[in-house]
Structure 1
Amino acid sequence: MNIPSQGGTAEVSHRFVQTNGIQMHIAEQGEGPLVVLLHGFPETSHSWRHQFAALAAAGYHVVAPDQRGYGRTDRPEAVEHYSQLHLVGDIIGLLDALGEEQAVLVGHDWGSQVAWNTALLRPDRVRGVVALGLPYFPRGPMSAVAGMTHALGPGFYMNYLQQPGVADAELARDPRASVLRLFQWGFGDSPHAEAATLPMVPEGGTLSDILPEAGALPAWLTEADLDVYAEAFARTGFTGGLNWWRTMDLSWELTAPWQGAPMTTPALYVYGERDGSVQLPGLDQLIANLQYLVPNLTRTVVLPGVGHWTQQEGPEEVNAELLKFLGAL
């Protein structure tokens, strides 16, 4: 099945595959070793529009799924069906559906966590990991949301997202404005990308209290790009993506058998200089110690002037780092 291509790239084709009990929409281009691109929130496979042609031209089969709960991929109703074990299972099932034993996984935002966890749980299926934005988080004595709440208090935005239906309804009132406001919250030139700005929802407040007003589009985002995202979330709502946060405690419980397991996969870590997510408490120590946590980490790259939307804001720099890493495997 073919759907109009992303970003005007005619060579990108679209189809559906069955994986882990769901139907998954994928965009793909090229032939060769498999590279799977895993998006974050609030994104879809469209966030990789600048990577398809560059990687395909270099001799790779590039596949970007809409992950569980997003875009044209199925959205299971039960919240517990969004745990990291389910999300990792989706990627393993995707490799099976494509007839591939292994792939390099490139993840951004939440997609980075899926990439890391797939390498942790199934290192036999992962040739390499490229994480954009978020470093490897080894399982700790408490879940990440519990740890951040302990450090920052109940106003930390993850707690607001835990409430069923609340953020969902708020964001769905105007999907286009919501996506734009989320993008404007974290891009490099935005005044809201300052490192000192922690995402704290005031008591009795909402996300609207901490998101910037929807203004002019950043230079890296066109009206057509925003239309793609707005149409997707107008059709699906935001619940599928928000359910990833709502299973953080569950995922922490389910991954207890991998406590202390080594992360052995070759890896590359890339983040933006102005990405506020890496300024959260404890992340500076994680990044400083990443070589010890990921012994086969080839390098850590900081992109000047880039915010949270790494591959969209700095596509040429990201593509160059991807090709360098892939070529060395």
Structure 2
Amino acid sequence: MDLLEHQLLEVNGITLSLYSCGPLDGRPVWLLHGFPECWHSWRQQIAPLAAAGYRVLIPEMRGYGQSSAPREPSAYDLITVCGDIQAAMDALGQREVCVVGHDWGAPIAWHLALLEPQRVKALAGMAVPFGGRPKQPAIDIIRQLYAERFHYILHFQQPGVAELEMDADIPRTLRMMMHNTSAVVPKDFFLQDKPVGATLFAGMQDPLTLPDWCDEQAFDEYVKTFAGRGFYGALNWYRNFERNWQRTESFAGRQIEQPALFLLGDKDPVGTLEAYTLKQMPKRVPRLEQHLLSDCGHWIQNEQAEQVNQHLLGFCSRHYPA
């Protein structure tokens, strides 16, 4: 980590904060973080990939850290965010890449593979599967299913509502979300049984401690990502389901043809939420390799870093050798 380089790139109408490591002539591997995370969530993957000869690139995604955070929610649709990474690849002269994404970073990786079939030679998604373009926006389906019950995505839709609770105490918010989607917690904020209009953390207690996979130094990086700005940029990613659906019309029925790796924790609540998509994914990604990691929640690259690194390095050696 001491050998990390940092730069600010002016791309796609924003400033993109980018960390990098590894040999300058190494084949590029992009690590795309999710919500509510930061570039530092990849801290246990950076050194092994760089040691294997890869040029590792870790952006702070739009809305996070030192990268720009436009106020307008429509600035965060999938195609626009993909454009940030595509423009950065152009600026760095990269013609062949591997893309790895976790949580919200996974849909970016899946869609970069569709947008850039010549440049993206291999990819990996963690936690969030690819099921192709649905017949209607996902937000419409969620509204139908949760008309009388709380759902965190519906709670995130109105700008300013979730921010009031989450911004009030950023360390508390991060502790709550880290603990309540880790493998050790049987119930999480994704699947709470409470009425519409409840707050995100209603009925939940601040653990006041960090999960085993996140030490104080790492936690400081997470807090720094949101300090002074709050969560509005990160939450804006959730306010584009309809726009995402509209902007991906040309991808309807398309398959991801590149070699692809998918990793999921056996105790990740997203696995329950996306059960149907998981069953459909092999049809949409024919060259798919999948692994279910035991005793693992949502924060897969940290909770089971050794297993993730073994799978990721093995996959890259077979399909994207350094």
For the 8 Å contact 1:131–1:269, the answer to whether it is kept is yes
What secondary structure is seen at the aligned counterpart in 2 of 1:208? coil
Quick check: 1:17 aligned with 2:9? yes
Which runs of 5 or more structure 2 residues have no equivalent in the other structure? Answer: none
For the 8 Å contact 1:80–1:247, the answer to whether it is kept is yes
Between 236-245 and 258-267, the greater mean CA deviation after superposition: 258-267
Which residue of 2 is the match for residue 310 of structure 1? 300
**Separation in 1 of the partners of 2:213 and 2:86?**
32
Q: Kindly provide the CA deviation profile for residues 137-189 of structure 1, in whole angstroms up to 9, marking residues without a partner as x.
A: 31111112222222333522111100110111210000011011111110111
What secondary structure is seen at the aligned counterpart in 1 of 2:201? helix
Quick check: 1:74 aligned with 2:65? no
For the 8 Å contact 1:108–1:131, the answer to whether it is kept is yes
Which residue of 2 is the match for residue 288 of structure 1? 279
- Match for residue 183 of structure 1 among 162, 173, 178: 178
4+ residue runs of structure 1 moved beyond 4 angstroms? none
- Match for residue 252 of structure 2 among 247, 259, 266: 259
For 1:43, give the aligned amino acid.
E
Instruction: Output the TM-score relative to the length of structure 2.
Output: 0.94
Which residue of 2 is the match for residue 128 of structure 1? 122
Q: Mark the CA change 1:286 to 1:28 in structure 2 (over 3 Å): closer, same or farther.
A: same
Quick check: 1:300 aligned with 2:295? no
What secondary structure is seen at the aligned counterpart in 2 of 1:41? coil
Aligned length: 316
What secondary structure is seen at the aligned counterpart in 2 of 1:192? coil
**Separation in 2 of the partners of 1:212 and 1:152?**
24
- Match for residue 220 of structure 1 among 200, 213, 216: 213
**Separation in 2 of the partners of 1:164 and 1:276?**
25
For the 8 Å contact 2:264–2:292, the answer to whether it is kept is yes
What secondary structure is seen at the aligned counterpart in 2 of 1:35? strand
**Separation in 1 of the partners of 2:318 and 2:17?**
30
What secondary structure is seen at the aligned counterpart in 1 of 2:158? coil
Q: Map 1:57-206 to 2 at 5 A.
A: 57-153=51-147, 155-193=150-188, 198-199=191-192, 201-206=194-199
Q: Kindly provide the CA deviation profile for residues 86-124 of structure 1, in whole angstroms up to 9, marking residues without a partner as x.
A: 011011011112110121110000000100011112222
Between 38-47 and 260-269, the greater mean CA deviation after superposition: 260-269
Which residue of 2 is the match for residue 33 of structure 1? 27
**Separation in 2 of the partners of 1:201 and 1:233?**
27
For the 8 Å contact 1:138–1:260, the answer to whether it is kept is yes
Q: Mark the CA change 1:266 to 1:210 in structure 2 (over 3 Å): closer, same or farther.
A: farther
Shift of residue 40, structure 1, vs aligned partner: 0.3
Q: Mark the CA change 1:212 to 1:309 in structure 2 (over 3 Å): closer, same or farther.
A: farther
Shift of residue 128, structure 1, vs aligned partner: 1.1
Instruction: Output the TM-score relative to the length of structure 1.
Output: 0.92
For the 8 Å contact 2:131–2:281, the answer to whether it is kept is no
What secondary structure is seen at the aligned counterpart in 1 of 2:35? coil
**Identical amino acids, percent of aligned pairs:** 35
Between 172-181 and 249-258, the greater mean CA deviation after superposition: 249-258
Q: Mark the CA change 1:211 to 1:258 in structure 2 (over 3 Å): closer, same or farther.
A: farther
For the 8 Å contact 2:131–2:278, the answer to whether it is kept is no
For the 8 Å contact 2:262–2:291, the answer to whether it is kept is yes
**Separation in 2 of the partners of 1:153 and 1:129?**
36
Shift of residue 296, structure 1, vs aligned partner: 1.3
Q: Mark the CA change 1:189 to 1:36 in structure 2 (over 3 Å): closer, same or farther.
A: same
Shift of residue 211, structure 1, vs aligned partner: 4.9
For the 8 Å contact 1:266–1:296, the answer to whether it is kept is yes
Which runs of 5 or more structure 1 residues have no equivalent in the other structure? Answer: 1-8
For the 8 Å contact 1:55–1:62, the answer to whether it is kept is yes
Q: Mark the CA change 1:211 to 1:254 in structure 2 (over 3 Å): closer, same or farther.
A: farther
Q: Mark the CA change 1:56 to 1:189 in structure 2 (over 3 Å): closer, same or farther.
A: same
**Separation in 1 of the partners of 2:131 and 2:171?**
32
What secondary structure is seen at the aligned counterpart in 1 of 2:228? helix
